[in-house]
């Protein structure tokens, strides 16, 4: 079973490729969309059962591949089915059939017709196909995204058929041919149960705040008395009770947290091996600070920064002051 925080991290990373996902409407609408997406994908990948430990809704993201996966799921049409390729359900939405693999691959820029198992083996591609399915109208049905954010208005015929804006229509979009139109269905009830369960997690994490000195913060940070699912495992804060300061370790390097700007979502930190009462005191050898792994994802506006110390100054480099008598020539440059 995949950790909820890993799932959220993958969603955040891949959502950047889909304009509007989780960013449409007010805060309540955005939360509703994320809860609906998690609920539907949790049902699709569930490994729970009615009497499962911690309840059936604790068993989300258990199966990345369809359990009975010996079917080709190939229909004649635009998209071919090369020999040996099977298009059974894979990924958060259990993407199935050659035409779905073909369209999804075309839109995200990956050849999934020839490489369908990438949906199961590559986490980024897997979640891109899931968000693609969520954002894309399915046949004559609207997109799940448009339904949940209130951008879909049913026609008179759709209203007569019982299609009203809400979570139920999304179930119909995803698997209505099998689960809808014939009375109560345990699968529909399971999807509803997963939709309700995130609110319980929210209530548990809402008041669990990390506090140390002048720092008071919740998600996405973990640490302190917060439950593991209430924060990202790679953003764990710890409190130095002796100095009453907050510390964090990122990619193997320890930092002191100077402050956190909630509105701008900026974490200001200083490497412990660089500072002493606010003064600059680099030591030899100095280890590079590299923020290129989870949960940090460099974007197009990021640039490498190089710090040069105890060296000949250069007019091409910008000098900045450093309160250290041993290292007068300190420069900074980018590449």
Count CB neighbours of 287 within 10 A.
Answer: 11
d(CA 313, CA 330): 8
Considering just the CA atoms, what is the radius of gyration of the chain in Å?
Answer: 25
Strand ranges (DSSP E) for the chain? 210-212, 215-217, 221-223, 232-240, 245-250, 253-261, 266-271, 275-276, 279-280, 305-309, 318-319, 330-334
66 has catalytic annotation: no
Q: Which of 33, 44, 66, 236 is catalytic?
A: 44
- The length of the chain is 335
Edge-to-edge, what's the strand order for the sheet holding 318-319?
Answer: 305-309, 330-334, 318-319
Beta bridge mates, 250:
253
Instruction: Cite the active site residues.
Output: 44
């Amino acid at each position: 079973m995949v950790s909820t925080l890993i799932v959220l991290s993958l969603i955040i990373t891949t959502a950047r490729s889909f304009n509007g996902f989780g960013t449409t409407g007010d805060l309540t609408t955005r939360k509703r969309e994320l809860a609906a997406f998690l609920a539907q994908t949790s049902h699709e990948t569930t490994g729970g059962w009615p009497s499962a430990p911690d309840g059936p809704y604790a068993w989300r993201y258990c199966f990345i591949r369809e359990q009975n996966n010996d079917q080709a799921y190939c229909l004649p049409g635009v998209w071919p089915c090369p020999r040996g390729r099977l298009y059974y359900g894979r990924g958060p939405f259990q993407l199935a059939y050659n035409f779905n693999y073909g369209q999804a691959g075309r839109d995200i820029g990956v050849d999934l017709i020839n490489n369908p198992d990438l949906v199961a083996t590559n986490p980024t591609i897997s979640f891109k196909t899931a968000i693609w399915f969520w954002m894309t109208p399915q046949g004559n049905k609207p997109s799940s995204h448009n339904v949940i954010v209130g951008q879909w208005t049913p026609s008179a015929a759709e209203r007569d058929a019982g299609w009203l804006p809400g979570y139920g229509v999304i179930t119909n979009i995803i698997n209505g041919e099998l689960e809808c139109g014939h009375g109560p269905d345990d699968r529909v009830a399971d999807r509803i149960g997963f939709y309700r369960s995130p609110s319980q997690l929210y209530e548990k994490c809402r008041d669990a705040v990390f506090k140390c000195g002048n720092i008071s913060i919740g998600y996405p940070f973990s640490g302190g008395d917060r439950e593991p699912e209430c924060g990202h495992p790679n953003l764990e804060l710890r409190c130095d009770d002796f100095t009453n300061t907050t510390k964090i370790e990122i990619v193997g390097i320890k930092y002191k947290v100077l402050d956190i700007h909630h509105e701008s979502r900026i974490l200001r930190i200083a490497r412990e091996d660089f500072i002493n009462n606010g003064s600059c005191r680099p030591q030899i050898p100095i280890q590079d600070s590299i923020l290129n792994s989870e949960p940090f994802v460099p974007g197009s506006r990021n640039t490498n920064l190089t710090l040069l110390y105890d060296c000949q100054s250069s007019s091409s480099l910008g000098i900045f002051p450093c309160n250290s008598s041993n290292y007068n020539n300190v420069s900074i440059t980018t590449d």
